[in-house]
Chain A
């Protein structure tokens, strides 16, 4: 067949799979660090990095977590406590985490562009604003693509009570998230009550039919169909990874006795089992009313679980290879409304990173005295995701194609915040 350089072809699924980096022939890769495309792909894979996204659905308040404005008119009722970093203070709702702040880098100068939940959730999962013509992939799918392995028993992108529905976007169903319920339960239809003997019998009949079809058609679609059927069978074998009950008793103290604690323990088990990306969600932060009661109810179990997760990962030697990302889709207003609530705010808010070479023990960027505007070092959503990709050894400038349009992993013009990287 003649070689045609039709840009549309750059996005063929086959090209994506043949090239580990997923940039088909002609795809543009900026070579940061002077590595060639192929060796970069190998490098990325060899490092086997993981990412756990602690997602605060609804938008956690920076004022009740990492950027308190004690004494300001709208500072709220909570006190600050000291941390294991001299001079650095966090909210009293986070006693466990305060003793591990040397591992955490807080960004106090997030400045993003989507002020409502659907747009914000999309933005803080993809790095891009929603647009009708391009289906951007979530960063979980991107990490699954560059750090995942084919033919594994477990999916490469798992959401435990995850949020957002952008999914794998134009990267295709191969990188779709696999969703686990808030209580760690497997999705509908994961369980089978069939006798093993019958299951095997059915499998053999099906294999015979698939062999015949494959012999006549050599169809790529049929191959993919069959591969995912095999993956579904293997998942049956890996089902025990999701059952944390045997480990829960001895870890209850470490993670805290909460649903969030159980989710974080499951995330650690999945990292251990080789899963590159896990989102762990906690919901209820949209505190337009009773912001303070709301945070008093939510933050302690979250911070306990987060602190336990870091301790556990360190003990198992996984912390240096696992990036923890903490963020919601929006921040909350400096002002307090007449229902003791805080509304949506994206001009200045906080997020945090830990592990995987992140330079912990720092508060990056600054807000002004009342937390209204960023005072120094603003970080946009693009910068945030560029930094995440860089921490995971994935070049944020890599481009994938949707149709003829090249899409870099982090939006064009984003900057890696190198001060955050070790």
Chain B
């Protein structure tokens, strides 16, 4: 294996030994990765003397997998069909089916939009980013290899509206230091922010590492080249000159002191070989609304090449760990974007094994997802005794809050709103949150949002539940849940069955049947059913994926 630009640090050698061991682990019996996962995870349960939770029930699995892969709950018909299905490999079939469903690409694009931008990205113009959102969807629909996808993202060719990727840089316009923090954290799992102001207190990073990486971005410039459908189109240009200036530790800085220009340097590696500029070079003036000419030598492209190499010790490991965290609730290194030596993995051999497997499969994220979801570990019940939302030893499934998009779209399925309105002529640009107000849903449920975020109850979301707009989901027309339930032909028992299957994707328990039978047999049944529907739409069982 060749680690050319970065062969000097001892930590690389440690990593290399680990990866070789992991290669043996994967190749020893040529076992499927899912089996390697289960044996590594259960070995640690034995060491820690832990009893794992039982396997998930079909209903538990069903709701979890729909939300994790498609970002929505199953419909009543989908739920009943799956629960009735007797075939032994029905879980595997459902995983395959959802991986090829258009919703898969949509949901992954939603997650990556949040990874790349968050809810409130900096930078003028970044709130309208359908270009890159569509681009992300296309990447996942085509199952683009992750390294190719990230290379295209960071090369940022084309414009921010018709192609998309340049929008990533727009949020860090003229801020090479901020951009550097974000790129190294997101794609390499390396957090350099401490080293921005002082040498890192417990990692190896020096301030010069920070500025050496930031130097790759110092010459980028955001240029607006016109508008399409009233949305500004940006392209990313790169100048031939310009440097980041390093002023030394923050405590030694004084006003007016100019820093030293810093040359680009790869993390843990050498400097960049770059041709010298001609004597007395003068940067040409940018023409307005025109894409700038490409540079004679692109620092950015050199960095992109280095970042997305299969043998970059951070790149593959960071995505392997992130994917694990996405489905298992926490990273093997947690948080997922901090692969610092001070932040040890809980299952080091397993992380190495997944990393090397992913590199061998040429960064096929869908294939990795398939292995993760078919593991017994993923398919454990979340009914455990530890009470932890994200158990470190993965002895039961994690519990995570639904994102704003997941809630908005799942509420429509649960109430039959989609079914009841499917023949209505579509609006020009139907809101994903219809009939609810996007601003409210995103404000109250937008964060935490990445599927692995911590959650604490907020007062505001309950005010919204209690007094907000949920009532507008409750249609009474044919196809809607209430329209179906209030049908006189239905017995009380059937009504309860329908309510639970359609909203919570499971049949009611005996206790629930007994508790609610009277309610749904009342004369003023609609009012009572409304109470029950409201409670089902807002209770913890709906609010979380478990």
Contact = CB atoms under 8 A, between A and B. Distances in A.
B343 interface: yes
Interface string B504-535: 00000101100110010000000100011011
Interface of B: 48, 50, 120, 122, 172, 178, 181-182, 185, 191, 193-194, 196, 202, 251, 334-335, 338, 340, 342-344, 346, 382-389, 392-393, 399-401, 440, 454-468, 509, 511-512, 515-516, 519, 527, 531-532, 534-536, 538-541, 543-544, 546
A213 B541 contact: yes
A172 interface: yes
A189 B185 contact: no
Nearest to A208: B515
B388 A187 contact: no
A132 interface: yes
A224 B540 CA distance: 10
A221 B455 contact: yes
B188 to A, nearest CB: 13
Contact of B458 (A173, A193, A205, A220): A173
A220 B178 contact: no
B45 to A, nearest CB: 11
A198 interface: yes
B509 A212 contact: yes
A217 B545 CA distance: 12
A137 to B, nearest CB: 13
A132 B122 contact: yes
Contacts of A131: 178, 181, 193, 196
Given A221-B544, A222-B540, 5 more contacts: A131-B196, A189-B467, A206-B539, A221-B389, A222-B399
B540 A210 contact: yes
Interface of A: 1-2, 4, 6-8, 13-14, 131-134, 155, 165, 172-174, 176, 178, 187-194, 198, 201-202, 205-206, 208-210, 212-214, 216-222, 224-229, 231-233, 235, 403-405, 413
Given A1-B50, A209-B539, A405 B194 contact: yes
A133 B454 contact: no
23 contacts: A4-B346, A4-B392, A6-B346, A14-B388, A131-B181, A133-B185, A165-B120, A173-B455, A178-B459, A187-B460, A202-B531, A205-B535, A209-B535, A213-B539, A217-B384, A218-B386, A219-B382, A219-B546, A220-B387, A221-B540, A229-B465, A232-B463, A405-B193
B454 A219 contact: no
A188 B196 CA distance: 41
Contacts of B385: 218
Contacts of A217: 382-384, 399, 540, 546
Contact of B384 (A13, A213, A218, A227): A218
Contacts of A212: 509, 511-512
Nearest to B536: A209
A235 B459 contact: yes
Nearest to B540: A222
A382 B79 CA distance: 56
B532 A205 contact: yes
Nearest to B440: A188
A338 B383 CA distance: 70
B458 A228 contact: yes
Given A8-B343, A232-B463, A206 B535 contact: yes
Nearest to A218: B387
Contacts of B181: 131-133
Kindly name the residue among A188, A191, A193, A231 whose own CB sees the greatest number of chain B CB atoms within 10 A.
Answer: A188
Contacts of B334: 6, 8
Contact of A220 (B338, B388, B460, B532): B388
Contact of A228 (B196, B462, B539): B462
Contact of B182 (A132, A201, A214, A225): A132
A338 to B, nearest CB: 27
A155 B515 CA distance: 34
Contacts of A405: 191, 193-194
B342 A228 contact: no
B48 A174 contact: no
Contact of B389 (A220, A227, A231): A220
Contact of B540 (A14, A176, A225): A225
B458 A176 contact: yes
Nearest to A406: B201
A405 B509 CA distance: 46
Kindly name the residue among B384, B389, B540 whose own CB sees the greatest number of chain A CB atoms within 10 A.
Answer: B540
Contacts of B534: 202, 206
**Top 6 closest pairs, chain A to chain B, by CB:** A228-B457, A232-B462, A222-B540, A206-B535, A224-B457, A205-B535
B454 A172 contact: yes
A353 to B, nearest CB: 27
Kindly name the residue among A178, A187, A228 whose own CB sees the greatest number of chain B CB atoms within 10 A.
Answer: A228
Contacts of B460: 176, 178, 187, 189
A211 to B, nearest CB: 10
B13 to A, nearest CB: 23
B399 A221 contact: yes
A227 B456 CA distance: 10
A205 B386 CA distance: 27
Given A6-B343, A133-B182, A192 B511 contact: no
Contacts of A193: 467
B48 A229 contact: no
A198 B182 CA distance: 50
B529 to A, nearest CB: 11
B340 to A, nearest CB: 6
A7 B343 contact: yes
Given A132-B182, A209-B541, A221-B389, A8 B458 contact: no
A103 B342 CA distance: 49
A178 B460 CA distance: 8
B48 A2 contact: yes
A209 B465 CA distance: 16
B389 A8 contact: no
Contact of B456 (A133, A173, A187): A173
Nearest to B344: A6
Contacts of A189: 460, 463-464, 466-468
A144 B458 CA distance: 15
Contacts of B346: 4, 6
A229 B535 CA distance: 12
Given A176-B458, A202-B534, A190 B467 contact: yes
Given A7-B342, A187-B463, A218-B385, A13 B456 contact: yes
Kindly name the residue among A206, A209, A216, A220 whose own CB sees the greatest number of chain B CB atoms within 10 A.
Answer: A209
Contacts of B185: 133
A405 B400 CA distance: 24
Kindly name the residue among B459, B464, B543 whose own CB sees the greatest number of chain A CB atoms within 10 A.
Answer: B459
Contact of B335 (A8, A132, A205, A227): A8
B191 A403 contact: yes
A228 B456 CA distance: 9
Given A132-B178, A189-B467, A212-B512, A219 B340 contact: no
A13 B461 CA distance: 19
Contacts of A202: 531, 534-535
A252 to B, nearest CB: 31
A232 B388 contact: no
Contacts of B468: 188-189
B338 A224 contact: no
Contacts of B335: 8, 403
A227 B455 CA distance: 13
Given A217-B546, A232-B462, A403-B338, A191 B399 contact: no
Contacts of A225: 455, 457, 540, 543-544
Nearest to B47: A2
